[in-house]
Every structure is written in C-alpha cells, then in structure tokens.
Amino acid sequence: GAVVSQHPSWVICKSGTSVKIECRSLDFQATTMFWYRQFPKQSLMLMATSNEGSKATYEQGVEKDKFLINHASLTLSTLTVTSAHPEDSSFYICSARGGQGDQPQHFGDGTRLSIL
C-alpha cells in the first residue's frame, strides 16, 4: 500500500517552456502533499506544502509564481514550472501523506527536469 506515482519521470525541453509534473496517491487519500527539489549529491529541499483544496504554502526563497502548485483533489497534486530556464533543471520529487497523527510521507520516484 501507500503508493505515490509521479509523472513524467524525466523531461527535456527548451528554455521558456512551462512544464507540468503530476503526483498521484494511488491507494490512499492524500490530505497533504509536498514538493521537493534535489540537486546532485545534495539532500532534498522542501519547496512547498499543499493541503487539498487550499493554496500551497511555499518555503522561503521559492517563487510561487514560478512554481505553481495545484492540489485540487485528495489524490492529485501538480507542480508547474513556468517559463523554465536552465537553472530550473533539477530532480523534483513529490510526497503525500494521508490522515492525521503518525502517518508518514510516501514519495514518488521523482522527475528529472532538464532545460536546454
């Protein structure tokens, strides 16, 4: 159980393109979803937290107009990187958790984004 699917697994596109990444919880309802960014040999950096039906809460230094997050249902959150540039190239990972209390996060397998 507790499977999180992330799509696409990798994407290469030209500078200026907007890219949408989907994160789905397949067998549980995700009350909270998280988006992370990870550079090579580094840890995961939390970008934003979203609760179903609410606006996402962005971490300091993360541009909300650049990284649009939508969490319209209990099983789907999307991250759109708008007008992507080479410096946005990274590994983006989502996670989801359901319920309250001690429910852990479960992670997708990440999306490798390369902007040319």
45 vs 82, which CB is nearer to other proteins?
45
Least distance between other proteins and beta carbon 75 (Å): 17
Least distance between other proteins and beta carbon 83 (Å): 26
82 vs 107, which CB is nearer to other proteins?
107
Provide the 10 A C-beta neighbour count for residue 96. Answer: 31
Least distance between other proteins and beta carbon 80 (Å): 19
Q: Of how many residues is the chain composed?
A: 116
Give exposure, 41-79, as e/b (b: 16+ Cβ within 10 Å): eeebeebbbbebeeebebeeebeeeebbbebeebbbbbb
74 vs 82, which CB is nearer to other proteins?
74
* Tokens coding 111: 């999306």
Least distance between other proteins and beta carbon 10 (Å): 9
Could you list the residues that contact other proteins (CB under 8 A)? 2, 4, 6, 32, 36, 43-46, 49, 51, 57, 91, 93-95, 97, 100-102, 104-110, 112
4 vs 81, which CB is nearer to other proteins?
4
Q: Decide the pairing of beta strands 67-73 and 57-58.
A: unpaired
CA 51, CA 71: separation in Å to the nearest integer? 7
